[in-house]
């Protein structure tokens, strides 16, 4: 395991007042709120009040770009290649709406372990002619790479997959999957919601076609601020049916003729952006983008190992892969009555959650101390 200096990570605790009276092991679902989120949100309100319509062009739209560029840094892609939108379901639906599903190459391949919302988006493309191939998992945690490789063929158009699976925190081999997909001419859309800000990403180097995620979880940014990356050489081919005036080359021309898409990432936006959410998300992304992602990952692996061994000692069932290389930032553990214990933990301000078929999910993040992990497990003991 790589040894890193964890002090710069722990120093961020000053930015999270909520850590003074609660233990947050819930970054796979809702990252702790940074102090500055309030200040940035207030600055949105101040601009609205003071600058009125002037705020749009002078502040709000440039802010959307600033935030997209911070996200781009964390994803390991170039500035200007990421655009913000409301949520992952929306950005995936926009991507899906770019394709003609009546052609021979119209297969969508993903597994039953994906997050339900993206399944609803892709399954719905069947109504437009797509063939949806949902792969089974044998253990409820993983899908063998070979099974995925065999399913991705010359008729596959896209493979929408999570880099880290939400239920088990399994880290999928994105690089290898992209390579396989490209061998047969298929695209990969990587949902990095559960990996960005906890696992170092080099999406440009890995040559991913599309990537998306949101700000709610590991990025500590709150809801309503999702992101989409499109590989720059693919962008001119993208002509989403799900669109709106902010995707037009000249929104203020109010042109009623043929849609003329913007030349940049704005073409992937629909209507008016949700600006307040983009202000509340800024503080989290600023913190995350300022940290060494390698250090974040090394600390996460050390602390998830610690948490797992404490859970194992108590005889709990572990529902997360054992190997570091196959694991994201969460440890899932289960025992009889774990759902009730999770409810009580939250009441006592030990924030975590519970999912069927998985048990309690707990995620140390860059701000978590070892002492908090020990206290969390002690509290589990007390409640049981």
Ligand X SMILES: Cc1ncc(COP(=O)(O)O)c(C=O)c1O
Q: Which residues bind ligand X (CB under 6 A)?
A: 87-89, 115, 117-118, 162, 166, 191, 193-194, 214, 226
Report, in Å, the least distance between residue 82 CB and ligand X: 15
Report, in Å, the least distance between residue 137 CB and ligand X: 15
Task: Evaluate whether 211 touches 267 at the Cβ level (below 8 Å).
Answer: no
Q: Which is nearer to ligand X, 30 or 306 (CB)?
A: 30
Report, in Å, the least distance between residue 192 CB and ligand X: 8
Q: Which is nearer to ligand X, 156 or 330 (CB)?
A: 330
The SS3 call for residue 92 is helix
Tokens 């979880």 sit on residue: 217
CA atoms within 13 A on the CB side of 2: 14
Q: Identify the CA nearest to 34 among candidates 222, 225, 190.
A: 222
Report, in Å, the least distance between residue 195 CB and ligand X: 9
Contacts of 379 by beta carbon, 8 Å cutoff, 6+ apart: 345, 348, 350
What Cα–Cα distance (Å) separates residue 314 from each residue in 293, 309, 358?
A: 32, 9, 17
Report, in Å, the least distance between residue 193 CB and ligand X: 4
Q: Which is nearer to ligand X, 23 or 226 (CB)?
A: 226
Q: Which is nearer to ligand X, 6 or 193 (CB)?
A: 193
Q: Which is nearer to ligand X, 214 or 364 (CB)?
A: 214
Report, in Å, the least distance between residue 225 CB and ligand X: 10
Report, in Å, the least distance between residue 360 CB and ligand X: 16
Q: Identify the CA nearest to 141 among candidates 314, 302, 334.
A: 334
Q: Which is nearer to ligand X, 76 or 214 (CB)?
A: 214
Q: Which is nearer to ligand X, 82 or 295 (CB)?
A: 82
Phi, psi of 137 (to 5 degrees): -110, 145
Task: Evaluate whether 128 touches 103 at the Cβ level (below 8 Å).
Answer: no
CA atoms within 13 A on the CB side of 304: 35
What Cα–Cα distance (Å) separates residue 231 from each residue in 108, 149, 203?
A: 19, 22, 9
Q: Which is nearer to ligand X, 115 or 245 (CB)?
A: 115
What Cα–Cα distance (Å) separates residue 283 from each residue in 74, 147, 225?
A: 14, 40, 12
Q: Which is nearer to ligand X, 37 or 226 (CB)?
A: 226
Q: Which is nearer to ligand X, 34 or 214 (CB)?
A: 214
Would you give the DSSP letter of residue 212? E
Report, in Å, the least distance between residue 342 CB and ligand X: 17
Report, in Å, the least distance between residue 116 CB and ligand X: 9
Report, in Å, the least distance between residue 86 CB and ligand X: 8
Give 147-196 as a DSSP string: HHHHH--TTEEEEEEESB-TTT-BBP-HHHHHHHHHHTT-EEEEE-TTTT
Give 343-362 as a DSSP string: HHHHHTTEE-EEETTTEEEE
CA atoms within 13 A on the CB side of 243: 21
- φ/ψ region of 255 (left if φ > 0, alpha if ψ in -120 to 50, else beta) reads beta
């Amino acid at each position: 395991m790589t040894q890193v200096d964890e002090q710069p990570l722990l120093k961020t605790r000053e930015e999270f007042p909520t850590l003074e009276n609660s233990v947050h092991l819930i970054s796979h679902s809702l990252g702790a709120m940074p102090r500055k989120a309030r200040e940035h949100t207030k600055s949105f309100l101040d601009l609205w009040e003071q600058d009125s319509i002037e705020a749009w062009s002078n502040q709000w739209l440039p802010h959307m770009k600033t935030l997209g560029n911070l996200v781009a840094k964390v994803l390991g892609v170039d500035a200007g290649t990421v655009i913000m939108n409301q949520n992952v379901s929306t950005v995936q639906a926009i991507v899906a709406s770019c394709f003609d599903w009546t052609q021979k190459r119209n297969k969508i391949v993903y597994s039953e372990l994906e997050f339900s919302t993206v399944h609803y988006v892709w399954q719905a493309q069947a109504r437009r002619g797509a063939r949806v191939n949902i792969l089974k998992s044998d253990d409820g945690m993983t899908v063998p790479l070979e099974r995925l490789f065999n399913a991705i063929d010359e008729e596959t158009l896209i493979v929408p997959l999570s880099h880290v699976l939400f239920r088990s925190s399994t880290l999928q081999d994105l690089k290898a999957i992209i390579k396989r997909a490209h061998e047969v001419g298929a695209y990969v859309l990587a949902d990095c919601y559960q990996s960005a800000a906890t696992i170092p990403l080099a999406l440009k180097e890995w040559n991913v076609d599309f990537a998306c995620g949101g700000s709610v979880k590991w990025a500590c940014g709150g809801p309503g601020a999702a992101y989409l990356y499109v590989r720059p050489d693919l962008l001119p081919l993208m002509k989403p049916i799900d669109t709106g005036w902010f995707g037009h080359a000249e929104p203020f021309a109010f042109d009623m003729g043929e849609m003329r898409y913007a030349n940049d990432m704005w073409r992937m936006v629909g209507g008016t952006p949700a600006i307040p959410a983009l202000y509340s998300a800024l503080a989290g992304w600023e913190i995350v983008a300022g940290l060494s992602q390698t250090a974040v990952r090394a600390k996460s692996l050390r602390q998830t190992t610690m948490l797992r061994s404490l859970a194992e000692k108590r005889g709990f069932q572990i529902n997360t892969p054992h190997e570091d290389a196959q694991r994201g930032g969460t440890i899932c553990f289960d025992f009889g009555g774990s759902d009730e214990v999770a409810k009580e933990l939250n009441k006592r301000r030990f924030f975590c959650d519970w999912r069927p078929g998985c048990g309690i999910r707990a995620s140390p993040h860059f701000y978590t101390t070892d002492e908090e992990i020990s206290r969390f497990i002690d509290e589990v003991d007390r409640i049981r």
